[in-house]
Structure 1
């Protein structure tokens, strides 16, 4: 892709131990004038790779996904921001579309834009499962017209103005193994249940069998996972299991608050920051 001039945009990536994928993420966005990596304590070569691929590195202890993204936004050099996870990258087609359309969009009163994310699962694209085929996700915004919610996990970008949509997808390299996926589930469950505790959310255990059935059927049939064959079954099974485990862990925290400290210690032994 030929880049006559870079655009006044900041690319933000929040990281912890992302050495395996960070370089391809940063290199897939050649047209931005500023690349910022906000790291929360990597013990691998993440920070060195970020610097080698043209990014500034700011170190910040983990605040939760929403607060961490808002912190990163405050350190951007430009008002327009594109944010990616380290295991994501722009396709050449999306990079070209963004470069062509962004100058006009940035002169308008648009608050941000929706991108489409295509997921590689077990090494291959999911062809039918809706959340992984062409998920619509907010990743481009003007920081005076949008803000991330303060949720510890499953944060969302809230816009205060018109929103554009781009057609070409970017790529998400899903967890490389099911082991990685289950470690991620453990982390996300801790964050989500802490939010539930603060809100006093009810999550009765008697609902768990019904939750499992509802989530499995929704993902397997309504979201078309069954059309992706055995991989679709795995996706639906894990989604339903995760929903039940989240409620079991929430119940445990209510019964034994001390388990939070014990869980933190164990997760950190495995390099996971809750």
Structure 2
């Protein structure tokens, strides 16, 4: 039987890490990469028998690569702290690994939850996924350098899609979803600003409309009611907001530092604002 490693990369995930690791007990070992954790994440991982890799990783891909390097198993199942493996999926993974002589990596379905609501349809456009490549042989998967949801490449043979799904707590509620959109587009904006690959406004609008259609119509987001419409809107806004933030970053980087030599200093007269000394 091939050795199977469970891999989880975290940053301050003490509230949900224990459940994630408990669901990985079917693995022969568990590796946790703790990136700049200031909470109890590392202690929880060690207390549950995981091997911990602690460090500072500027981008997600470096965390993943460090975790893979620490894994001793021939096969790796990769999770995030907000994800969980069901008993049925655990059994399917074990059976797949045991009989996989030719294949090197597999897609795994994802059941995404917003709060307690299961949202099966309409995910996409860098805002959510209904299937992820999380079961692979060590050395087969590699990550690119983007700050959020980095692209991946695979060196081996694709084995198909498993039947059972990962359970993914995407967001707690709509407010959490909006905050995630803001966070993701800020990180994507930094990538675009650094690379210089900033799109035009019209290109952003076209891509946004295309993504909305893809999520709401092609991927049947309409079947999820209001939530499907909202997810499609978020996916459509993603490229527009990312590029607007990239342009803002580039503009700010070109402005002179406040109080630099020769720059004007702006002062305010408090009395004009209704304040007295």
Shorter-chain TM-score: what band? 0.7 to 0.9
Q: Distance in 2 between matches of 1:150 and 1:101?
A: 30
Shift of the 145–109 alpha-carbon distance from structure 1 to 2, 3 Å rule, reads farther
1:86-144 deviation digits (Å, cap 9, x = unpaired): 00111111111112221222xx2432221111111232111433559982211112223
Aligned position for 1:120? 113
For 1:241 and 1:144, the matched residues in 2 are separated by: 35
Q: 1:218 to 1:104 in 2, by over 3 A?
A: closer
SS at match of 1:236: helix
The answer to whether 1:174 aligns with 2:167 is no
- Check whether the contact 2:112–2:120 (CA below 8 A) recurs between aligned residues: no
1:13-63: CA deviation from partner (whole Å, max 9, x where unpaired): 110111222112111122212111111122322222222322122211132
Query: Structure 1 residues 129, 209: closer, same or farther in 2, change over 3 A?
Result: closer
Secondary structure in structure 2 of the residue aligned to 1:57: strand
1:57 matched to 2:49: no
Give 5+ residue unaligned stretches, structure 2. Answer: 256-277
**Bigger share in helix:** 1
Whether 1:240 aligns to 2:233 is no
Task: Point out the structure with max Rg over C-alpha.
Answer: 2
C-alpha distance in 1 between matches for 2:143 and 2:37: 23
Q: How far apart are the structure 2 equivalents of 1:181 and 1:130?
A: 13
Alignment correspondent of 2:264: none
Give the Cα–Cα distance (whole angstroms) in 1 for the partners of residues 30 and 57 of structure 2: 20
Contact 1:40/1:60 (8 A) holds in 2: yes
Q: In 1, Cα distance between the equivalents of 2:244 and 2:163?
A: 40
Query: How far, CA to CA, are the matches of 1:202 and 1:258 in structure 2?
Result: 16
Match of 1:3 in 2: none
What is aligned with 2:41?
46
TM-score by length of 1: 0.82
Alpha carbons of structure 1 residues 166 and 235: separation in structure 2 relative to 1, 3 Å: same
**How many residues matched?**
252
Give me the whole-angstrom Cα distance separating, in 2, the residues matched to 1:180 and 1:62: 25
Instruction: Please tell me the root mean square deviation across aligned C-alpha atoms, in Å.
Output: 2.4
Gaps of 5+ in 1: 1-5, 260-274
Match of 1:85 among 80, 83, 94: 80
TM-score, normalised on structure 2? 0.81
1:258 to partner: Cα distance: 7.0
Structure 2 partner of 1:227: 223
Q: 2:246 aligns to what? A: 250
Equivalent of 1:192 in 181, 188, 192 = 188
> Partner residue of 2:99?
104
